[in-house]
Amino acid sequence: MDGALARTVSRGASVVLSGVEKHFDSVGAVRGVSLDIRSGEFLTLLGPSGSGKTTTLMMIAGFEMPNAGDIAIDGRSVVALPPHKRNIGMVFQNYALFPHLTVAENIGFPLRQRGVDRATRARLVAGSLELVRLPGYEKRYPRQLSGGQQQRVALARAIVFQPRLLLMDEPLGALDKQLRESLQLEMRRLHADLGITFIHVTHDQEEALTMSDRVAVMNDGLIAQVGTPEDLYDRPCDQFVASFIGESNFLPGAVLGREGELLVVDCGAAIVRAVAGDGRTHGGNVTVTTRPERMHFADRVAESARQNSMAATVVEAVFAGERCRYLCQCDGGVEVVIKEPSSSIIPRRRVGDRVEVAWSIADTVVV
């Protein structure tokens, strides 16, 4: 364990963003981002378009200069360093392979800039191609390759000179679903093999959750939440994160009081207990949230100390292969979505059924 950790620490760069800001004209693209990216981790910047994630990546790469704040790589500030001196690998959205050079010349390009001799170049290029599973493709031209192959050549080119940091700007955006999923796993494997730090930008939350060690969710130029995929999924810190990642049900209500770690909230249709983890004092009105697949139909009113429940009427019922999806209107007027597995054991509900919706208190979060 210690040996593996030591290896990871020495191969990947650490990146620290402190109060980074960037405006274009009067529009604030990045409005104060501070982030600690650990050596060797796979971190994804996730957010909708316009959230500032790509601009942040470009500032780490050196193609944009921050208006305020600092960026340090391996402890040294790089803000004054031009991109060609930063020694960072980068994969662009459309791969940006040089069309007039062969695959070998593309991958060998960074080595040429560093004065590596031809024999060593050939060896390293071949090794890189092996790593991305495209052996023997040296003499082809980018236009002769498929989208997935181009992406892998772009990866090979970005890592051949053994950078400690790899940046990726929505590299899988142009590929179809199946290819995307297989390449996601390949990138994860590559990360494990190389042990360097990966910073990845995407707007696809499923991709972020699949590939990353940690995810930083960005919204409107700021980081909304940073954490492991589980953290973000189980404990979203605000409504934006809760609805951007996966699907969420929101129940507004008035705070009645506290019970230890839990907040007691009157949501109209029922009294709900929710985890108020972060120690903020909540007074007045709050919104509690839970995931649709964590709700189920109870056959009778559950007075369990570990469950919330409320009465509702089924408004819509859709069979969607893996799951059944129900839209239910609670007695208080709020609508919730419930996803149940389509197993034969679980009875299907019909429109108009009166039901009791139940879910674990541990899965209820205050946002």
Partner 1 sequence: MNLGRAVFNASWVLVLVFLGLPILIVVALSFSSASYLTFPPPAFGVRWYRAYLGSSDWLDSTWLSIAVAASVAVLATVLGTLAALGLPRLPPALRMAVGALVLSPLIVPGIVAAIGIYYVFARYRLVGTPLGLVLAHTCLAVPFVVTSVSASLAGLDRRLERAALSLGATPWGTFYQVTLPLIRPGILVGALFAFITSFDELIVALFLSGSGAVTLPRRMWDDLRFAIDPTIAAVSSLTIALTAVLLLGAHLLRGRRA
Determine if 155 is a binding residue for partner 1 (CB under 8 A). no
Q: How far is the CB of 143 from partner 1 (least distance, A)?
A: 9
Determine if 300 is a binding residue for partner 1 (CB under 8 A). no
Specify the residue, 66 or 89, whose C-beta has the smaller distance to partner 1.
89
8 A C-beta contact, residue 66 and residue 31: no
Long-range contacts of 82-85 (CB under 8 A, 24+ apart): 84/113
Per CB under 8 A, the segment of 11-19, 57-65, 203-211, 351-359 that binds partner 1 is 57-65
Per CB under 8 A, the segment of 11-19, 157-165, 192-200, 339-347 that binds partner 1 is 157-165
8 A C-beta contact, residue 56 and residue 65: no
For 265, phi then psi, to 5°, come to: -125, 135
Site pattern 99..128 for partner 1 (x: CB under 8 A): xx--------xx--xx--------------
Determine if 93 is a binding residue for partner 1 (CB under 8 A). yes
Determine if 174 is a binding residue for partner 1 (CB under 8 A). no
Specify the residue, 88 or 208, whose C-beta has the smaller distance to partner 1.
88
Specify the residue, 85 or 189, whose C-beta has the smaller distance to partner 1.
85
Determine if 336 is a binding residue for partner 1 (CB under 8 A). no
Q: How far is the CB of 13 from partner 1 (least distance, A)?
A: 15
In angstroms, the Cα distances linking 329 to 242, 294, 310, 311, 367 are: 20, 17, 10, 9, 21
In angstroms, the Cα distances linking 87 to 61, 94, 141 are: 9, 21, 25
Q: How far is the CB of 99 from partner 1 (least distance, A)?
A: 7
Question: Which residues, at least 6 apart from 80, have a Cβ–Cβ distance to it below 8 Å?
Answer: none
Q: How far is the CB of 320 from partner 1 (least distance, A)?
A: 39
Site pattern 247..276 for partner 1 (x: CB under 8 A): ------------------------------
SS3 22: strand
How much of the chain is in helix, strand and coil states, percent to nearest 5? 30, 35, 35
Specify the residue, 107 or 216, whose C-beta has the smaller distance to partner 1.
107
In angstroms, the Cα distances linking 124 to 84, 118, 137, 190, 198 are: 20, 10, 14, 16, 21
Determine if 223 is a binding residue for partner 1 (CB under 8 A). no
What beta strand segments (E) does the chain contain?
Answer: 15-24, 27-37, 42-46, 68-73, 76-77, 89-91, 165-169, 197-202, 214-219, 222-227, 249-259, 262-266, 271-275, 285-290, 295-298, 307-320, 323-330, 335-341, 354-360, 365-366
* Candidate residues 82, 260, 321, 352; the one interacting with partner 1 per rule CB under 8 A: 82
Question: Which residues, at least 6 apart from 315, have a Cβ–Cβ distance to it below 8 Å?
Answer: 327, 328, 329, 335, 351
Determine if 80 is a binding residue for partner 1 (CB under 8 A). no
Determine if 89 is a binding residue for partner 1 (CB under 8 A). yes
How far apart are alpha carbons 195 and 8 in whole angstroms?
5
Q: How far is the CB of 128 from partner 1 (least distance, A)?
A: 13
Determine if 153 is a binding residue for partner 1 (CB under 8 A). no
Q: How far is the CB of 107 from partner 1 (least distance, A)?
A: 10
Per CB under 8 A, the segment of 46-54, 58-66, 185-193, 246-254 that binds partner 1 is 58-66
Positions touching partner 1 (CB under 8 A) are 61-63, 82-90, 92-94, 96-100, 109-110, 113-114, 157-158, 161
